[in-house]
Structures are given as C-alpha cells and as structure tokens.
C-alpha cells in the first residue's frame, strides 16, 4: 500500500505540473504570430467547410482554455483568444476542436463510445465516493464493491478520452499542414501546444486509475 500512495502523490504532482505547462505553452505560442495570418476562427471555419461541416457554427466563449466541441448542439466553441488571435496557439487549439467535429461526423468508434457512457458518468462518479466511504465506515463490503463498479465507469470514461484526444490532435496536425494553414517550420510549435494539452488528460486518467487500484486494494484487504 505504501508504494501505491507514493504513485498517487506522484500522479497528483504530474497533474498540477501538466496544468501549469499547458498554460505556459499556450501563452508562449500565443505570442508567435502565424505566417499565414489566419485566426483560430479562420482555420476552424475553413476546416469545417472543407470537411462537409458547413452547418456547424463556431462561437466565441469566455474563459481561458475553455475551448470545446459540443456534440449535442454540434457547435465548435473557441475561447476568445483562440477565436480572434492569429497565433500558433490559436490555430492549434481551433484545429483540435474541429478534429472532434470531424470524429463526430465520421462516427469515430471511441467518440461514439464516449458519448454513450457520458450520461452515466456524472451520476457514477458522484455517487462512488459516498458508497466507498460509507462502505468502509459501516464495514459493508457490498457497498464498497458497488462503489468500485461505479468508479470504474468514470475510469473507463477517462481512458476512452485518451485515444479521442490524441486522434483529434493528429487529425488537426495533418490537416493544418496539408491545407497550408501553417508553414512546415511552425509545426513544432503546434506539436508543443497539442502535446501539453494531451498530457493533462493523461495525468487525470492516471490519477483515477491509481485511485481505482487503491479502492480495490482496500476491498480485497478487508475481505481477508
Ligand atoms: Zn479535445
């Protein structure tokens, strides 16, 4: 158990570091203007249109790094700096979000799966800690077991998120180079921005996975 706690703490430190790094990398490449002079909006609009997604609107939203693709309303939402600015960061993030819209259109299997389990995830992740904690306090192993099952749903969701995120980024990189939204020598910056973002998802999944191992360890040690 001691070693497991060390791993969990290490994963937390990795996660905090990843959060700082994604902000730092984004800010750094925000100052580097793209040679084509395209804004995040320009790139997103062009990418959507050339992929048969003319009906998907793009909206600016408040908040830093709040960019996302909304699969329910089929809208690409870009944070204001990404929407309006002509930087390597803006183009990177905008093209990544369009990558999700293209995944949706093509029924990318991992995305379909992610959407399928999403409705249960909020409920499952909300109730799991109470079941596990309650089970330990009242020494009710069945509750702990049930909590572990609910918690597993959340872990599965986070693990499925990883290929979805990596795939959106690799689609984005391919398209922006092919379409000439950036020059070849600017690809390094795009890679840095997208990789920094991906690491935050890896760290979050790692924390959840280790938490799950910890719960299972508690469960099995109590059963003996
Ligand atoms: Zn994403």
Tens-place pLDDT, residues 116-171: 998 899 899 899 989 998 998 888 888 999 999 999 999 999 999 999 999 999 99
Residue with the two structure tokens 């999700």? 100
Dist CA 85 CA 31 (whole Å): 10
- Annotated catalytic residue, options 33, 59, 80, 97: 97
Element (H, E) at 79: strand 75-79
**Which of 159, 167, 165 has the alpha carbon at shortest distance from 205?**
159
CA of 130 to the centre of ligand 1 (A): 30
CA of 100 to the centre of ligand 1 (A): 7
Q: What is the per-residue pLDDT for 219?
A: 86
**Which of 157, 149, 153, 148 has the alpha carbon at shortest distance from 215?**
148
Q: Is 97 a catalytic residue?
A: yes
- pLDDT < 50 stretches in the chain: none
CA of 164 to the centre of ligand 1 (A): 7
CA of 54 to the centre of ligand 1 (A): 20
Helices (H) and strands (E) in the chain, counts: 7, 3
For the entire predicted model, the pTM comes to: 0.91
Q: What is the per-residue pLDDT for 75?
A: 97
Centre a 10 Å sphere on the Cβ of residue 89 and count the other Cβ atoms it contains: 27
Centre a 10 Å sphere on the Cβ of residue 62 and count the other Cβ atoms it contains: 7
Class of residue 100 by CB neighbours under 10 A (exposed 0-12, middle 13-18, buried 19+): buried
């Amino acid at each position: 158990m001691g070693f497991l706690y060390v791993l969990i703490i290490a994963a937390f430190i990795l996660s905090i570091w990843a959060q700082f790094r994604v902000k730092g990398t984004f800010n750094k490449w925000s100052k580097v203007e793209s040679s084509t002079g395209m804004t995040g909006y320009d790139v997103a609009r062009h990418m959507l249109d050339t992929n048969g997604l003319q009906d998907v609107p793009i909206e600016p939203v408040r908040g830093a790094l709040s960019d996302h693709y909304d699969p329910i309303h089929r809208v690409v939402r870009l944070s204001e700096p990404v929407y309006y600015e002509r930087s390597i960061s803006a183009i990177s993030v905008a093209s990544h979000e369009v990558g999700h819209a293209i995944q949706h259109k093509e029924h990318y299997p991992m995305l379909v799966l992610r959407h399928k389990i999403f409705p249960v995830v909020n409920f499952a992740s909300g109730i799991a800690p109470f079941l596990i904690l309650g089970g330990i306090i009242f020494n009710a192993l069945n509750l702990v077991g049930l909590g572990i099952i609910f918690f597993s749903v959340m872990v599965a969701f986070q693990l499925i998120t990883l290929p979805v995120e990596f795939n959106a980024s690799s689609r984005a990189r391919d398209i922006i180079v092919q379409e000439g939204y950036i020059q070849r020598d600017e690809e390094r910056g795009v890679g840095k921005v997208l990789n920094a973002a991906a690491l935050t998802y890896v760290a979050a999944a790692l924390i959840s996975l280790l938490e799950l191992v910890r719960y299972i360890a508690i469960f099995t040690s109590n059963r003996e």
